[in-house]
Amino acid sequence: MTDSGALKVDEFLQVEGQENVFAIGDVTDIDELKMAYMAQQHARTLVNNLVAEVTGTPKTPYTPGKFWFAIALFAYSHIFGK
């Protein structure tokens, strides 16, 4: 665990020093935005890795991605016709 209370995870989202314990979402020490979208990406990787664990196939490492978003700005008068 980090000084801030986050769980240290490896590239497979497995909690360091623990066997068969994984973590996803805001509780991890992954250096990325703490947003639901990112937890969703963690979940996809975790499901694949749990299946790999059970079937004995290689696990897939989680690669932190970039989160892109766009904000459209309009003049108030254009939205409400004033």
Total structural domains in the chain? 1
Q: Which domain holds residue 72?
A: 1-82
pLDDT in tens, 46-76: 999 999 989 999 999 998 876 666 676 665 5
pTM beyond 0.85, yes or no: no
Spatial distance between the Cα atoms of 51 and 2, rounded to a whole number of angstroms: 28
Residue 20 has pLDDT above 60, yes or no: yes
The arithmetic mean of pLDDT across residues 14-27, rounded, is: 91
The chain-wide mean pLDDT, for the chain, equals 84
CB 30 within 8 A of CB 9: yes
CATH number, domain containing residue 46 = 3.50.50.60
Which pLDDT belongs to residue 14?
A: 93
**How does DSSP assign 18-61, residue by residue?**
-SS-B--GGGB--SS---HHHHHHHHHHHHHHHHHHHHTPPPPP
